[in-house]
Amino acid sequence: MRCSVLIAILLLVGRTSFAQQVIQQPVVGTTAVSTTVSVPDRGSVLLGGVSSAQSGRALYGPLRSGTNTGISRQATSITTHVYIHDLQAMDEALLNSGPSESSDSKSSISSKFVRSKEREQPVDPVASPAEKAAKFEQLARKAGEAGKLGVAKLHWQVAAKYGSKLAETRLAELSRGSTLQTSAR
């Protein structure tokens, strides 16, 4: 009796251990385009595309009376969309917007963005560090007056990077103020 139970268990274990296992591997395809195109701001261009189709038919049954048909189609295209971010003009638009304006008013911000972009003067690439520091000090004061303390702090940090002693003093005051605020809580 023990022997027959042991044989039955071995047969069951043997069947499960030799069961067929299917492992699906992912199919990975790569499509690449090597070209140069000119695209205007907020424009798009179709760079290229590839399409393929497959079909298959299988016959089965007695006298091959049954059929299976499979069809597969694939299409891939490569498109680029361009949006140029003018961060300096965006900063100016934010700094020039007053605290009374609503932040969700897209038309007023976009019109200021266009106006500030038109009157923007190019930055002198050979300006001395002192001139750059003075410019960022001015931007920091402007942001502070507009109530944008985070932006002001960033401008003070850049002015300090260019050697502004005033900016270092102002940053020390700001950090003491934030320490006092956190300790008061």
**Mean pLDDT value across the chain:** 77
pLDDT band for position 146 (50/70/90)? Answer: confident
Query: Is residue 1 in some structural domain?
Result: no
Lowest mean pLDDT among 7-21, 77-91, 109-123: 109-123
Note the pLDDT tens digit of each residue in 24-64: 888 888 888 888 999 998 899 999 888 999 999 988 888 88
- For residue 59, the enclosing domain spans 43-83
User: CA angle 164-167-173, nearest 5°?
Assistant: 150
Say yes or no: 79 and 89 in one domain: no
Q: Mean pLDDT throughout 133-147?
A: 89
DSSP-H helix ranges across 59-148: 87-96, 106-119, 129-145
Give how many domains the chain has, as a whole number.
Answer: 3
SS3 track for 57-82: EEEECHHHCEEEEEEEEEEEEEEEEC
Query: Is residue 36 in some structural domain?
Result: no
Note the pLDDT tens digit of each residue in 102-121: 444 444 555 544 544 444 45
The Cα-based distances of 39 to 45, 132, 184 in angstroms read 7, 33, 54
pLDDT band for position 1 (50/70/90)? Answer: low
Say yes or no: 91 and 147 in one domain: no
Which of 121, 142, 176 is the endpoint of a domain? 121
Looking at the predicted structure, is the pLDDT value of residue 158 above 70? yes
Lowest mean pLDDT among 5-19, 61-75, 144-158, 166-180: 5-19
Say yes or no: 77 and 91 in one domain: no
Say yes or no: 104 and 68 in one domain: no
Radius of gyration of the chain (CA): 34
pLDDT band for position 95 (50/70/90)? Answer: confident
Q: Mean pLDDT throughout 80-105?
A: 75
> What pLDDT score was predicted for residue 185?
46
